[in-house]
């Protein structure tokens, strides 16, 4: 199987080149793996073009040793899914297996596949996927599910639908707004502090939209997490789709991961109770479930924003946000049997139809890329899995 080595020298703290020359390339050499080529990317889109060129020249199963964050991985997966190289189209299937070397800022997929422990040696920790490649075929690569989000224009619109491809996250509401605003702030604030600025700008916002959850292919139902039983159970309102009226504060789905940063375990069951087949774990917060929310006013939204901050803070406490409930007065508690603050569901997909008047509800985030739903349109997101173990994308774990 040919092996291509690609790293993004500009990602994270910009140390990928040094890490590759000091650790990755010597390790490949000592394992007698001679890469077909070693590339440092020079611009956005470069990694995808390099992989496409390799697959066009030779559509055989390919291994890519990839030094990057989630963004470069996303770029390769989206490009190959939406526009497979001609030779791959002719072969009707391909397998691309990654050995990931985390060099980005968040590295959500890597952190989910290799949850960090305090005792980890930092260098060895970053070499775990590469070591799994070297141990293959004892440990074959693990297939990745994908979330395909189609931005559907209104009926009779001239523009074609666009499909975004995620290997980590597909979101709307707060998460999409933070990503969009932090990108706009990048020029004035290149530090990570821009994410906090963007969060503060959006935390009190509610998003006017209607969502529908689509059933899992495996069970034919939408499932809802029961924190007391620590298990999913069929959603009580499933028929088999579940209508979820807005407004929303938070709406985020993940695929392949239980976390978006090493400690931010927003969808813990994705690891402790992984889905069988293609599935999305969706985390929803809707302000109208809060007994203290009666009127919609600035004060109400400001008070609810504090609760949302507490929810997201609890996600850093080993996924404790799923235990939060409303007391009768709307305060947050982990006692009693009040309504759960977070609705955590597992489903085959979702639809999101924003109200025309709410511009921010039209934003969709796919692995960090921001897309806009055309006015009068909607977003439809579906989980898909490789059709067999010899096709699609996989990661050495």
Applying CB under 6 A, which residues contact ligand ATP? 8-12, 41-44, 46, 68-72, 75, 104-107, 368
CB of 111 to ligand ATP, least distance (A): 9
Using the minimum distance from each CB to ligand ATP, give the nearer residue, 12 or 349: 12
Cα dist from 268 to 228, 229, 272, whole Å: 14, 14, 7
What is the rounded CA–CA span in Å between residue 309 and residue 123? 34
What is the rounded CA–CA span in Å between residue 368 and residue 183? 10
What is the rounded CA–CA span in Å between residue 351 and residue 382? 9
Using the minimum distance from each CB to ligand ATP, give the nearer residue, 47 or 145: 47
Helices 173-185 and 193-202 meet at what angle, rounded to 10? 130
Using the minimum distance from each CB to ligand ATP, give the nearer residue, 72 or 256: 72
CB of 220 to ligand ATP, least distance (A): 35
CB of 344 to ligand ATP, least distance (A): 24
Q: Which residue has the tokens 């239980």?
A: 258
Using the minimum distance from each CB to ligand ATP, give the nearer residue, 68 or 172: 68
Write the secondary structure of 291-325 as one string of H (helix), E (strand) and C (coil): CCCCCCCHHHHHHHHHHHHHHHHHHCCCCHHHHCE
Using the minimum distance from each CB to ligand ATP, give the nearer residue, 8 or 256: 8
CB of 333 to ligand ATP, least distance (A): 34
Using the minimum distance from each CB to ligand ATP, give the nearer residue, 70 or 290: 70
Using the minimum distance from each CB to ligand ATP, give the nearer residue, 11 or 257: 11
* Nearest residue to ligand ATP, scored by beta-carbon proximity: 69
CB of 271 to ligand ATP, least distance (A): 18
What is the rounded CA–CA span in Å between residue 16 and residue 34? 19
CB of 104 to ligand ATP, least distance (A): 2
CB of 9 to ligand ATP, least distance (A): 6
CB of 79 to ligand ATP, least distance (A): 10
What is the CB neighbour count within 10 angstroms for residue 249?
A: 25
- Rg of the chain in Å (alpha carbons): 21
Using the minimum distance from each CB to ligand ATP, give the nearer residue, 30 or 188: 188
Measured in whole angstroms, how far is the alpha carbon of residue 318 from the centre of its chain? 18
CB of 192 to ligand ATP, least distance (A): 10
Q: Where are the beta strands (DSSP E) in 104-168?
A: 142-143, 146-152, 162-166
Q: Which two tokens stand for residue 275?
A: 């889905």
Q: Where are the beta strands (DSSP E) in 56-208?
A: 62-68, 95-102, 142-143, 146-152, 162-166, 169-172
Write the CB contacts of 117 (distance below 8 Å, at least 6 apart in sequence). Answer: none
CB of 194 to ligand ATP, least distance (A): 13
What is the rounded CA–CA span in Å between residue 109 and residue 104? 11
What is the rounded CA–CA span in Å between residue 77 and residue 166? 8
Structural contact between residues 212 and 243, judged by C-beta atoms closer than 8 angstroms: yes
Using the minimum distance from each CB to ligand ATP, give the nearer residue, 47 or 341: 47
| Three-class secondary structure of residue 390 per DSSP | coil
Measured in whole angstroms, how far is the alpha carbon of residue 77 from the centre of its chain? 13
Using the minimum distance from each CB to ligand ATP, give the nearer residue, 54 or 380: 54
């Amino acid at each position: 199987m040919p092996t291509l080595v690609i790293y993004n020298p500009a990602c994270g703290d910009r140390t990928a080149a040094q890490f590759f020359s000091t650790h990755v390339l010597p390790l490949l050499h000592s394992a007698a793996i001679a890469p077909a080529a070693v590339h440092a990317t020079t611009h956005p889109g470069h990694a995808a073009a390099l992989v496409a060129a390799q697959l066009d020249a030779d559509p055989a199963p390919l291994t890519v040793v990839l030094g990057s964050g989630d963004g470069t991985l996303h770029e390769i997966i989206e490009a190959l899914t939406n526009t497979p190289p001609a030779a791959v189209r002719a072969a009707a299937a391909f397998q691309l297996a990654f050995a990931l070397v985390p060099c980005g800022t968040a590295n959500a997929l890597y952190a989910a596949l290799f949850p960090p422990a305090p005792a980890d040696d930092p260098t060895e920790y970053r070499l775990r996927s590469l070591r799994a490649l070297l141990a293959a075929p004892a440990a074959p690569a693990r297939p990745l599910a994908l979330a395909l989000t189609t931005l559907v224009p209104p009926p009779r619109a001239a523009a074609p639908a666009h499909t975004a491809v995620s290997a980590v996250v597909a979101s709307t509401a707060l998460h999409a707004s933070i990503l969009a605003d932090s990108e706009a702030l990048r020029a004035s604030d290149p530090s990570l502090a821009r994410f906090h600025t963007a969060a503060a700008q959006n935390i009190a916002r509610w998003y006017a939209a209607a969502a529908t959850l689509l059933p899992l292919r495996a069970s034919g139902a939408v499932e809802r997490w029961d924190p007391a039983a620590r298990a999913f159970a069929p959603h009580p309102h499933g028929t088999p789709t579940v209508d979820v009226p807005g407004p929303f504060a938070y709406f985020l789905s993940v695929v392949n991961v239980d976390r978006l940063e090493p400690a931010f375990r927003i969808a813990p069951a994705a690891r402790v109770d992984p889905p069988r087949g293609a599935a999305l774990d969706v985390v929803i917060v809707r302000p109208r479930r809060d007994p203290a929310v009666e009127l919609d006013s600035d004060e109400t939204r400001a008070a609810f924003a504090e609760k949302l901050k507490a929810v997201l803070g609890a996600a850093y406490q080993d996924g404790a946000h799923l235990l939060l409930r409303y007391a009768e007065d709307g305060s947050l508690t982990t006692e009693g049997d009040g309504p759960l603050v977070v609705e955590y569901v597992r489903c085959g997909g979702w639809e999101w139809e924003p109200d025309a008047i709410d511009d921010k509800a039209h934003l969709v985030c796919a692995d960090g890329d921001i897309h806009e739903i055309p006015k009068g349109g909607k977003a439809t997101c579906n989980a898909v899995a490789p059709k067999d173990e010899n096709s699609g994308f996989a990661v050495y774990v």
